[in-house]
C-alpha cells in the first residue's frame, strides 16, 4: 500500500490542476477523446431497457422543483401484471449523482430492476441541484442563493416532500427505503430531526452509510480538511455555489493518472478523476456500461454538501452545518452546531458495507451502530469481497450478490 502524506497530496493535486490547465486545449483539439454521450438520461435508459417510466415533480416548502422517476411495474416476462397495488420502494442516490445510478447497469445488474422484477413499485428521488432538480419557482440556478444548502436541507425538506408525494399518490402508508452514501445520510438526519417520520418507513436498506467519517482515508477529504474543514473568512466571501467537476478535466486527469507510466504515487488519483470524490477502483467496474456511467456522472451539487462532509471528517462529529461560532449563535443558539440525535432513529435498518471503502471505514461504521438504539439494526452485511469499495454498490461487476442480499432482507419484513 502506498503511503502518502498530506503535503504530497496537496502537491500532486496542484500539479494535476496545472497540467489540466495546460492540456485542456489538447482535449478540445481532439487528442483526448471521450466516448460519453451527454444525451443519456434515466428516462432514456429505462425505456431502452424495456421498462415503463413515469416522471413526477414535487415542489418543496422552499420552492425547489424536484423530479421523481418511477418504474411502476416490471415489463419482464413472467413478472406479475401491471394491475393492483404494489409495495413502494423509494430509492435515494448519493453525493453528486442522480436516479440514473439505480438503473445504469441494466436489468441484469441494477437494484431498481431487481426490485421491480420482485413486484415493487419503484420511485427514485432526485435531490435539489442535481441534473433533474435544477429549478426553483423563485430562484435562478445561476444565483448563489439557489445553491445555499447542504445535505441537511435535502434531508429535512426534500426527502419528506418526495416521500409524502409518493405516499399520497399511491395510497400506501409506508415505503421501503433504499439508499447509497449521501442518501443514507438523508435517512439518518431526517429521522434524527423528525422522529415521527420513522413510522413512514417499513424498512431501510443503507448501502455504505455515511454518518461519522473521521477515520476516512479518502484523499479528497484529507486535502480539503485544512482548507475548508472549518469556517473561515474566505469561505464566507465565496458564499454558496454550484459544484460540478468538468468531464473534460476528468478526462485529462484520467489519461494522466491512469493510462500513462507516471510514478506509483500518482496512481492513487486514477479512480478519483474518473469517479469523482470516492476513489472507486475502475478495474471493478462493469466495463460494458462505462460510457453510460461517464455520461450521467457526476451530477451537479452545492459546494456546501461537500463542505459539510469535510466538516464531519475534521470535527469527528455527526452534526449540522458549521457556520462559525458567531453565526452558529444566531442559527442554533450555541457556538457549536448541534449533533444529530441518532437515538431517535428506529428500525428495522439493514446496513451493507465494503471492507475496502475508503470513505466509510469500519471504525466509523461501528461508531454509527453504537449510537443507534439496539433495536434499530436488523442486519449487518459485509460484502464478501476484500476490495469492494464505496461505488462498487452501484457499478461493480459483481454487484448482483449485494442486490440479492438487499432483496432478501426487504422480503423478510412483512
Please name the residues in contact with 388: beta carbons below 8 A apart, sequence gap of 6 or more: 284, 354, 355, 356, 357, 396
Q: Which candidate in 49, 152, 308, 390 is catalytic?
A: 390
Grid cell for residue 283? 478495474
Grid cell for residue 3? 503511503
Active site residue 181: yes
In the chain, DSSP finds a helix count (H) and a strand count (E) of 16, 11
Q: Which candidate in 181, 192, 203, 299 is catalytic?
A: 181
Q: Is 170 exposed, middle or buried (0-12, 13-18, 19+ CB in 10 A)?
A: middle
Active site residue 49: no
Distance (Å, whole) CA 126 – CA 128 = 7
Q: N- to C-terminal Cα distance for the chain?
A: 45
Strand 175-180, strand 121-124: pairing: unpaired
Strand 301-302, strand 242-243: pairing: antiparallel
Grid cell for residue 92? 435515494
Q: What are phi and psi of 368, to 5 degrees?
A: -60, -45
Q: Give the residue numbers marked as catalytic.
A: 181, 390
Amino acid at each position: 500500500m502506498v503511503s502518502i502524506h498530506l503535503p504530497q497530496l496537496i502537491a500532486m493535486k496542484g500539479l494535476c490542476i496545472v497540467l489540466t490547465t495546460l492540456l485542456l486545449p489538447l482535449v478540445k483539439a481532439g487528442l483526448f477523446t471521450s466516448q460519453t454521450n451527454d444525451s443519456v438520461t434515466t428516462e432514456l435508459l429505462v425505456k431502452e431497457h424495456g421498462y415503463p417510466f413515469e416522471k413526477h415533480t414535487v415542489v418543496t416548502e422552499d420552492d425547489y422543483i424536484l423530479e421523481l422517476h418511477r418504474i411502476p411495474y416490471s415489463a419482464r416476462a413472467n413478472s406479475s401484471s401491471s394491475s393492483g397495488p404494489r409495495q413502494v420502494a423509494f430509492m435515494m442516490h448519493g453525493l453528486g449523482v442522480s436516479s440514473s445510478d439505480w438503473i445504469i447497469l441494466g436489468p441484469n445488474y441494477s437494484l431498481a430492476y431487481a426490485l421491480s422484477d420482485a413486484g415493487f413499485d419503484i420511485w427514485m428521488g432526485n435531490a435539489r441541484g442535481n441534473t433533474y432538480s435544477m429549478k426553483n419557482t423563485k430562484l435562478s440556478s445561476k444565483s448563489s442563493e439557489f445553491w445555499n444548502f447542504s445535505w441537511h436541507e435535502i434531508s429535512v425538506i426534500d426527502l419528506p416532500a418526495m416521500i409524502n408525494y409518493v405516499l399520497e399518490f399511491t395510497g400506501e402508508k409506508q415505503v421501503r427505503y433504499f439508499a447509497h452514501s449521501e442518501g443514507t445520510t438523508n435517512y439518518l438526519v431526517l429521522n434524527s430531526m423528525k422522529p415521527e417520520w420513522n413510522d413512514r418507513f417499513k424498512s431501510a436498506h443503507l448501502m455504505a452509510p455515511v454518518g461519522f467519517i473521521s477515520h476516512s482515508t479518502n484523499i479528497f477529504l484529507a486535502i480539503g480538511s485544512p482548507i475548508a474543514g472549518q469556517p473561515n473568512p474566505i469561505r464566507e466571501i465565496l458564499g454558496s455555489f454550484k459544484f460540478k467537476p468538468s468531464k473534460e478535466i476528468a478526462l485529462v486527469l484520467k489519461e494522466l493518472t491512469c493510462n500513462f507510466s507516471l510514478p506509483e504515487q500518482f496512481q492513487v488519483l486514477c479512480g478519483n478523476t474518473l469517479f469523482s470524490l470516492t476513489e472507486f477502483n475502475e478495474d471493478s467496474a462493469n466495463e460494458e456500461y462505462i460510457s453510460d456511467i461517464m455520461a450521467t456522472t457526476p451530477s451537479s451539487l452545492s459546494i456546501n454538501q461537500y463542505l459539510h462532509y469535510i466538516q464531519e471528517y475534521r470535527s469527528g462529529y455527526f452534526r449540522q452545518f458549521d457556520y462559525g461560532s458567531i453565526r452558529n449563535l444566531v442559527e442554533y443558539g450555541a457556538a457549536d452546531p448541534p449533533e444529530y440525535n441518532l437515538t431517535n432513529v428506529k428500525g428495522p435498518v439493514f446496513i451493507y458495507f465494503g471492507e475496502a471503502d475508503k470513505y466509510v471505514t469500519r471504525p466509523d461504521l461501528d461508531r454509527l451502530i453504537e449510537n443507534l438504539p439496539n433495536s434499530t439494526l436488523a442486519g449487518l452485511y459485509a460484502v464478501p469481497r476484500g476490495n469492494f469499495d464505496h461505488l462498487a454498490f452501484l457499478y461493480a461487476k459483481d454487484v448482483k450478490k449485494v442486490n440479492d442480499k438487499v432483496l432478501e432482507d426487504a422480503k423478510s419484513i412483512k
